[in-house]
């Protein structure tokens, strides 16, 4: 396992390899079924869930429609509260800005709040190349970092690991990163959490710079919001002197009143909680502009585009920008449950990743071109999405873009042949009759590309006559 | 009442018994059935694989074939979902591309008149007991498009519960996809097969004789897997169960 997604094989090959890992399949099945059942109960508690969902969708659509206005409003409000705002068109620019800001402090290490945006841009790797060490402080991100692993889930990035594996990673790797794990560490959750707590505390107390993302940014006041469960985020957001937040431009909401909707939608959809344990909100350096010594004395907001404006230009695809990264779609997805997150070749796995990654990165690599097909279009993702992203609709839309690039030659030929037959009923009937008359000769297994069907399935028995012939003999 | 049967290409070519059963069932309930010969395929496989423009002639053809019928009845949830959800989209896209409103008008005129079989029985005809007799143990797999796009809900189960002699056993994890997904079954064959394996483990665990569904494409995938494994569990379309009576009981084809 390496810490990068570069050069991943296409989804079907990666998924087939993952399917052969029995332990991974068992870990994923247990974890996804547990959280999907809990989410269903948490959502069922609210009588107005459908209205909340519609409101969340409407607020996001409105904001995206007027993103130019709200981003400028946000920038002005953050600046008025003593923060500095930086605009980054792509990953490289964002990484450059963050590295320069850290260099300017004279520090060589940062603590991190769990953040999808910084994963997306590969910030840790970029900082490492600049001689800066980034410490992940979210428990699951810590497991991934110590294991030189990749995240496989948006909310629980180490979902593919079980307790015994985590104990092993802690025992073997913690010492290389700081305080070692206790010698007698067992795989009990309490002991594992305590080992992580002791290991991380050193980092919280020592760090002078923190890097975070944000779940939401409120334009009217310039307030950033991080919701979390462990309290590590609160430590990072309050203890260091310099705070740098890297946030996708689609995370803005206009007002606090809008925020209220998402603070109900997000925890129930993601962790199946009525409210998440920690909600941290900060507005620049606060009313004192940092003069009271409380909290960071410097705050930088890096607004990240990295493909979002391009996605916004796509009338069907833009709904993916409504995503609040709850991961409910991953937890109900039958494909994710079996293939696991790594097969998606991106920090955004599962159904949302299959529509987000090809839009953010384009569809030039084999894995990105395969992602829109990584779905049976069962619709479970759309059903649970708290902002009503019609993921199947976007998947099909992106498949069209892949097909327009050329698609597969055999597939194009099959579509053309079907197109002819289905527009010529007489030819279709003749083909059906021919199939019926030769049915004794049909094999049960196919060579070549047909093996994809017949490796695990027989070919169906063709009937003696098609329905249209029965109708002609019996009814017309 | 006179209705048009939209048999669907899969039933026409591979499962004629389902289309025949639909005809016999509707006739038994006093409905006159036509089979407009111009019908072929709704275009779902092409559309879902990314070939939207290749569907346009089929949208036009299907709309023309069923013009003039107040009710079009289809024993396939996913084909109804295609017409209801995606035909208007295909029409709107053609109009947005500056190719006129003719396709959108044809799509919008057809979509509300197409009914999935269980919708037609319970909502239009208002029947649940269709007078069927089927002395077997049955478990029901609600296919995704019927379940989530059409919202068929309890309709198929209410119809099954009213069948005399039939013992209905609940399918654990019923709402989970079987793994067919059209071209998904070959493009992602390994995941598709793993999903079928889990679905069949649930179905076999019920001890039922018959795995009933309302979409033969899913049953094609599950049945082909069962056949390979030599299992006795029999996949069967709901229409064939509802068409079965004491006078004319269902016989395996």
pLDDT in tens, A438-465: 988 888 888 887 889 999 999 988 999 9
Give the model's pLDDT for residue A358: 97
Q: What is the largest CA-CA distance in chain A?
A: 92
Chain A residues with CB under 8 Å of B7 CB are 467-468
Helices (H), A226-349: 232-238, 256-270, 308-312, 328-332, 334-339
Coil, strand, or helix at residue B151? coil
Residue A426 resides in a domain: yes
pLDDT in tens, B78-131: 999 999 999 999 999 999 999 999 999 999 999 999 999 999 999 999 999 999
pLDDT in tens, B58-83: 999 999 999 999 999 999 999 999 99
Chain B residues with CB under 8 Å of A421 CB are 40
Q: Which of B188, B230, B235 to probe the A interface (max A CBs under 10 A)? A: B188
> Do A39 and A182 have their domain in common?
yes
pLDDT in tens, A101-144: 999 999 999 999 999 999 999 999 999 999 999 999 999 999 99
What band does A2 get if pLDDT is binned at 50, 70 and 90? very low
**Mean pLDDT value of segment A27-46:** 96
**Domain boundary pick from A308, A328, A351:** A308
> Do A283 and A418 have their domain in common?
no
CB A98 within 8 A of CB A127: yes
| Average pLDDT of chain A, as a whole number | 95
Chain-chain contact of A399 with B48 (C-beta, under 8 angstroms): yes
Distance CA A235, CA A210 (A): 9
Q: Token match 């709904």: residue?
A: A319
> Do A161 and A43 have their domain in common?
yes
Residue A54 sits in a domain whose CATH number is 3.40.50.10420
Q: Which of B18, B44, B50 to probe the A interface (max A CBs under 10 A)? A: B50
Residue A136 resides in a domain: yes
Chain A residues with CB under 8 Å of B188 CB are 11-12, 15, 335, 373-374, 376
Distance CA A83, CA A79 (A): 5
Distance CA A426, CA B10 (A): 16
Instruction: Using the predicted structure, report yes or no on whether residue B191 has a pLDDT greater than 90.
Output: yes
What band does A265 get if pLDDT is binned at 50, 70 and 90? very high
**Domain around A148:** 11-308
Chain A residues with CB under 8 Å of B191 CB are 12, 15-16, 19, 335, 338-339, 374
Neighbours of A317 (CB within 10 A): 20
Chain-chain contact of A456 with B149 (C-beta, under 8 angstroms): no
Instruction: List the single residue in B51, B145, B189 with the smallest CB-CB distance to A452.
Output: B189
The nearest alpha carbon in chain B to A456 belongs to: B225
HSE-CB at A118 with a 13 A cutoff on CA atoms is 30
**Domain boundary pick from A261, A277, A308:** A308
Instruction: Using the predicted structure, report yes or no on whether residue A402 has a pLDDT greater than 80.
Output: yes
CB B239 within 8 A of CB B18: yes
Coil, strand, or helix at residue A250? helix
Chain-chain contact of B228 with A456 (C-beta, under 8 angstroms): yes
Give the model's pLDDT for residue A440: 87
Give the model's pLDDT for residue A60: 98
List chain B domain ranges: 2-124, 137-243
Instruction: List the single residue in B11, B17, B46 with the smallest CB-CB distance to A415.
Output: B46
Chain B residues with CB under 8 Å of A419 CB are 46, 54, 57
The domain defined by B2-124 carries CATH number 3.40.50: yes
Give the model's pLDDT for residue B252: 84
Give the model's pLDDT for residue B46: 95
Chain A touched by B231 (CB under 8 Å): no
Number of domains in chain A: 2
Chain-chain contact of A372 with B50 (C-beta, under 8 angstroms): yes
Beta-sheet strands, E only, within A48-198: 84-88, 109-112, 133-136
Residue A118 resides in a domain: yes
> Do A55 and A186 have their domain in common?
yes
Give the model's pLDDT for residue A289: 84
Give the model's pLDDT for residue B85: 96
Chain A touched by B213 (CB under 8 Å): no
Report the 3 state secondary structure along B220-242: HHHHHHHHHHCCCCEEEEHHHHH
Instruction: List the single residue in B15, B184, B223 with the smallest CB-CB distance to A376.
Output: B184
Which residues fall within 8 angstroms of residue A424, CB to CB, at 6 or more apart?
none
Task: Kindly tell me the burial class for residue A109, based on how many C-beta atoms sit within 10 Å of its own C-beta (0-12, 13-18, 19 or more).
Answer: middle
Q: What is the pTM of this model?
A: 0.96
Whole-number Cα distances in Å, A120 to A322, B142, B195: 17, 38, 30
Q: Which of A342, A369, A378 to probe the B interface (max B CBs under 10 A)? A: A378
Residue A148 resides in a domain: yes
CB B165 within 8 A of CB B190: no
ipTM exceeds 0.95, yes or no: yes
Tell me the nearest-neighbour CA distance from A58 into chain B, angstroms.
21
Residue A1 resides in a domain: no
Instruction: Using the predicted structure, report yes or no on whether residue B248 has a pLDDT greater than 90.
Output: yes
Instruction: List the single residue in A15, A460, A468 with the smallest CB-CB distance to B191.
Output: A15
Coil, strand, or helix at residue B24? helix
The B residues from 3 to 32 touching A (CB cutoff 8 Å) are 7, 9, 11-17, 19-20, 23
Give the model's pLDDT for residue A290: 82
Instruction: Using the predicted structure, report yes or no on whether residue A9 has a pLDDT greater than 90.
Output: no
Beta-sheet strands, E only, within chain B: 2-5, 32-34, 72-74, 114-116, 137-140, 167-169, 210-213, 234-237
Instruction: List the single residue in A15, A383, A467 with the smallest CB-CB distance to B19.
Output: A467
| Nearest partner of A178 among A139, A206, A138, A156, judged by Cα | A206
Give the model's pLDDT for residue A1: 38
Residue A399 resides in a domain: no
What band does B33 get if pLDDT is binned at 50, 70 and 90? very high
What band does A4 get if pLDDT is binned at 50, 70 and 90? low
Instruction: List the single residue in A335, A423, A463 with the smallest CB-CB distance to B16.
Output: A463
Which residues fall within 8 angstroms of residue A363, CB to CB, at 6 or more apart?
A369, A372, A398, A401, A402, A405
Tell me the nearest-neighbour CA distance from B10 into chain A, angstroms.
10
Chain A touched by B148 (CB under 8 Å): yes
The nearest alpha carbon in chain A to B86 belongs to: A393
> Do A158 and A278 have their domain in common?
yes
> Do A175 and A297 have their domain in common?
yes
| Nearest partner of A377 among A397, A399, A392, A393, judged by Cα | A392
pLDDT in tens, A157-203: 999 999 999 999 999 999 999 999 999 999 999 999 999 999 999 99
Q: Which of B194, B196, B223 to probe the A interface (max A CBs under 10 A)? A: B194
**Domain boundary pick from A308, A336, A353:** A308
Chain A residues with CB under 8 Å of B230 CB are none
pLDDT in tens, A307-342: 999 999 999 999 999 999 999 999 999 999 999 999
pLDDT in tens, A43-57: 999 999 999 999 999
Distance CA A462, CA A469 (A): 14
Chain-chain contact of A338 with B194 (C-beta, under 8 angstroms): yes
């Amino acid at each position: 396992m390496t810490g990068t997604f570069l050069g991943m094989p296409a989804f079907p090959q990666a998924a087939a390899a993952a399917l052969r890992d029995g332990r991974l399949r068992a870990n994923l099945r247990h974890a996804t079924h547990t959280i999907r059942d809990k989410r269903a109960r948490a959502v069922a508690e609210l009588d107005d869930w459908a209205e909340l969902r519609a409101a969340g969708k409407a607020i996001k659509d409105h904001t995206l429609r007027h993103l130019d206005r709200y981003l400028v409003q946000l920038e002005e409000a953050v600046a008025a509260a003593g923060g500095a705002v930086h605009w980054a068109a792509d990953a490289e620019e964002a990484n450059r800005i963050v590295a320069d800001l850290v260099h300017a402090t004279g520090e060589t290490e940062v603590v991190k709040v769990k953040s999808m945006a910084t994963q997306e841009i590969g910030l840790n790797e970029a900082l490492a190349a600049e001689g800066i060490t980034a410490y992940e402080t979210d428990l699951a991100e810590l497991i991934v970092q110590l294991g030189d692993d990749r995240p496989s889930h948006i909310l629980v990035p180490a979902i593919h690991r079980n307790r015994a594996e985590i104990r092993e990673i802690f025992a073997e790797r913690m010492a290389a990163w700081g305080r070692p794990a206790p010698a007698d560490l067992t795989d009990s959750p309490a002991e594992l959490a305590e080992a992580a707590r002791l290991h991380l505390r050193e980092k919280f107390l020592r760090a002078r710079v923190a890097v975070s993302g944000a779940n939401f940014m409120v334009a009217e006041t310039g307030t950033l919001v991080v919701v979390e469960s462990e309290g590590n985020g609160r430590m990072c957001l309050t203890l260091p002197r310099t705070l740098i937040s890297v946030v996708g431009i689609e995370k803005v909401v206009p007002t606090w009143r809008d925020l209220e909707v998402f603070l109900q939608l997000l925890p129930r959809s993601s962790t199946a909680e009525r409210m998440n344990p920690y909600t941290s909100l900060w507005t620049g350096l606060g009313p004192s502009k940092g003069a009271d010594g409380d909290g960071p004395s410097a705050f930088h907001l890096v607004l990240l585009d990295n493909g979002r404006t391009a996605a916004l230009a796509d009338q069907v695809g833009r709904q993916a920008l409504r995503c609040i990264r709850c991961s409910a779609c991953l937890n109900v997805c039958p494909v994710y449950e079996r293939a696991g997150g790594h097969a998606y070749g991106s920090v955004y796995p599962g159904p949302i990743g299959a529509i987000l990654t090809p839009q953010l990165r384009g569809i030039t690599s084999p894995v990105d071109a395969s992602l829109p097909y990584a779905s049976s279009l069962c619709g479970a993702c759309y059903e649970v999405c708290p902002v009503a992203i019609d993921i199947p609709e976007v998947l099909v839309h992106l498949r069209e873009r892949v097909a327009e690039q050329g698609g597969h030659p055999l597939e194009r030929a099959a579509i053309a042949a079907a197109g002819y037959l289905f527009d010529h009923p007489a030819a279709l009937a003749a083909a059906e009759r021919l199939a019926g008359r030769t049915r004794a000769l049909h094999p049960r297994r196919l060579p070549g590309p047909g093996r994809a069907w017949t490796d695990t399935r027989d070919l169906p028995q063709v009937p003696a006559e098609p329905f249209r012939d029965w109708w002609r003999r019996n009814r017309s | 009442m006179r209705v048009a049967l939209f048999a669907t290409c899969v039933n026409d070519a591979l499962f004629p018994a389902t289309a025949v059963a639909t005809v016999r069932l509707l006739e038994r309930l006093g409905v006159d059935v036509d089979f407009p010969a111009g019908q072929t395929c709704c275009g779902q496989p092409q559309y879902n694989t990314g070939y939207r423009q290749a569907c346009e002639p089929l949208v036009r053809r299907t709309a023309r074939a069923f013009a003039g019928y107040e009710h079009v009845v289809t024993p396939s949830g996913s084909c109804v979902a295609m017409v209801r959800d995606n035909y208007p989209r295909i029409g709107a896209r053609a109009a947005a591309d500056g190719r006129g409103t003719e396709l959108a008008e044809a799509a919008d005129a057809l979509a509300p008149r197409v009914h999935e079989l269980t919708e037609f029985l319970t909502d239009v005809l208002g029947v649940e007991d269709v007078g069927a007799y089927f002395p077997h143990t049955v478990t029901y797999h609600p296919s995704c498009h019927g379940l989530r796009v059409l919202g068929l809900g309890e309709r198929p189960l209410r119809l099954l519960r009213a069948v005399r002699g039939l013992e209905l056993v609940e399918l654990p994890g019923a709402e989970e996809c079987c793994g067919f997904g059209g071209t998904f079954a070959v493009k992602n064959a390994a995941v598709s097969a793993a999903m079928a394996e889990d679905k069949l483990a649930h179905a076999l665990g019920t001890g039922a004789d018959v795995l009933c569904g309302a979409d033969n494409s899913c049953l094609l995938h599950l049945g082909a897997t069962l056949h390979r494994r030599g299992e006795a569990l029999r996949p069967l379309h709901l229409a064939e169960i509802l068409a079965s009576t004491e006078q004319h009981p269902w016989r395996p084809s």
